[in-house]
Amino acid sequence: MKKSHGSLLLVTTLTASMVTACANPSSAPSDQSGNSSAPAGPAKITIMANLHTAEVPSDTIEKMVEEKTNTELTIQWVPDGSYEEKLNAAFATGSLPQATYLKNQTSLLMFRDAIRGGQFWEIGPLLKDYPNLKNLDPNVLNNTSVDGKIYSLYQERPLSRQGVIYRKDWADALGLPEPKTTEDLYQMMKAFKEKDPDKNGKNDTMGLTDRNDLVYGAFKTVASYYGTPNGWGEKDGKLAPEFMFPQYLETMKYFQRLHKEGLINQDFPVTSKTDQQNLFITGKAGMYIGSLSDSQSLYQKLITVNPNMKLDVANRITGPEGKAGIWAIPGYGSAVLFPKSAVKTEAELKQILSFYDKLMGAELGNLIYHGIEGKHFTLVEGKVSQVDDLKLTDREIKPYQALQVGGENTIKGFKESYFKIPVKDKAEKLVKDNNSILIHDPTAPLDSKTYTEKGARLQEGIKDATYKFILGAIDEAGFRSAVEKWQKEGGDKIIEEYNASYQQSKK
């Protein structure tokens, strides 16, 4: 570098060298020495995770974890509502932490491109070296994979929590048995609306309360009852999207009938989850189709409004085809990725993985999920019964549950939970029961370039058309033309790409 080139060049090269130094410090000698002399102090690990509670968590659990794993954790808590925004911003500015939690499948799909671009460490071949991490379910790992390679640890989720929650006291008052078929559901909703189930002499109740969500609301679950595939299904040996199946149309017709007859809240396409639950809690609606786990919070709120009410849950509802089924998620909640921009060397990666290995052990696994015995829970019949102090658990335990890797089925010695509320206990049993009637999404491990680019946008068109059909703004032909539009604007390409990927995976 010659001086005569002037200060501008000097500045540029200086900046450039600084940038490269940041991007690739493994070339800097100071960093390598850090690894060889690692045992000197606790390993430093930075984590970004989402926070589901309103308050900043206390660090009681964190301190214990740090002590037991000889690490120094820096956890950046990001409120759940703005997590994706923050994640994208951190990614765009290259400031991701060493362990990055992606909160669900959709986020992981968004990062596929970056993963393929070599921005994250591949961890698949390393997992076998860790006694606990190697217990992670290969099927679920496969669902998180990109081009057949594994880049992330995952947090286990029950494969399907979907089901029906309804007012047992209303059903009893009207002499209705537990619903077994979609027709039973319809009759129950109709009776809930028309036969004054709360016996107050006023026509002020409705059947079902739903919200602006075709997936986690009632629609997709009822679609399962009708035998609609989950996302994509096989038709004559080829994959096709769910909305091309006749069962999808039948489900739409079912909802159209509910809407027309006023059995469902008329504004459900713009109803928020809070408003949806409020309709149930205030005794205006008698049925809630969605996550069975919601039964606990619904019960607790309802009982304060109406101490005489009874709640029940049901599933294995059959449609006209007479087969029980329920759609399933790919078996993971959040996934943990390790960005190369933050984790500089393989030695560093291994250090972080061994931290997660310890976290997945029985002792720490139970600690971060259940807390401390005597303080946060007591043992009843060998099961964990959480103390009633919601504030305490919200502040000390709940946040750290977000850090968990693996879960009930993959952590050896993980303690089961005990539920005091009978309906919640039954709900959890139904969640387990769901495992035998699952409908999987065959595209979870598959890849389509067009889907990553345009899939979500195209799906909007289908979503709009579905709502329009239910609300009676378009007819069958109108829906078909929406599907044709989907095909024309890239859907055909998505079908083609998924099928190619499907054939390849079969080999």
The residues that touch other proteins, with contacts defined as CB under 8 A, are 88, 91-92, 94, 110, 113-114, 117, 119, 206, 212, 265-267, 269-270, 279, 284, 341, 453, 456-457, 460, 463-464, 466-468, 471, 473, 485, 489
User: Going along 210-364, which residue ranges are E strands?
Assistant: 232-235, 238-241, 285-291, 311-314, 326-327, 332-337
Q: Which is nearer to other proteins, 55 or 267 (by Cβ)?
A: 267
Tokens 């389509």 -> residue:
448
Q: Rounded to a whole number, what is the distance in angstroms from the first to the last CA of the chain? A: 56
Strand partners for 181:
318
Neighbours of 484 (CB within 10 A): 12
Contacts 24+ apart (CB under 8 A), 272-281: 272/211, 272/212, 273/211, 273/213, 275/211, 276/209, 276/210, 276/211, 276/217, 277/209, 277/301, 279/206, 279/209, 280/165, 280/209, 281/305
Closest separation in Å from C-beta 394 to other proteins: 25
Closest separation in Å from C-beta 395 to other proteins: 27
Q: What angle do CA 180, 186, 191 make, to 5 degrees?
A: 105
Q: Which is nearer to other proteins, 76 or 95 (by Cβ)?
A: 95
97 and 47 Cβ atoms separated by less than 8 Å: yes
| Alpha-carbon torsion, ordered 85, 91, 92, 93, to 10 deg | 110
Q: Which is nearer to other proteins, 345 or 459 (by Cβ)?
A: 459
Closest separation in Å from C-beta 341 to other proteins: 8
Q: Which is nearer to other proteins, 172 or 476 (by Cβ)?
A: 476
Closest separation in Å from C-beta 91 to other proteins: 6
Closest separation in Å from C-beta 117 to other proteins: 6
Closest separation in Å from C-beta 405 to other proteins: 25
Closest separation in Å from C-beta 457 to other proteins: 5
Phi, psi of 389 (to 5 degrees): -70, 90
Pull the structure tokens for residue 504: 């390849």
Pull the structure tokens for residue 137: 């379910």
Q: Which is nearer to other proteins, 334 or 341 (by Cβ)?
A: 341
Closest separation in Å from C-beta 100 to other proteins: 13
Q: Which is nearer to other proteins, 228 or 341 (by Cβ)?
A: 341
263 and 190 Cβ atoms separated by less than 8 Å: yes
Q: Which is nearer to other proteins, 198 or 312 (by Cβ)?
A: 198
Q: Which is nearer to other proteins, 394 or 464 (by Cβ)?
A: 464
252 and 469 Cβ atoms separated by less than 8 Å: yes
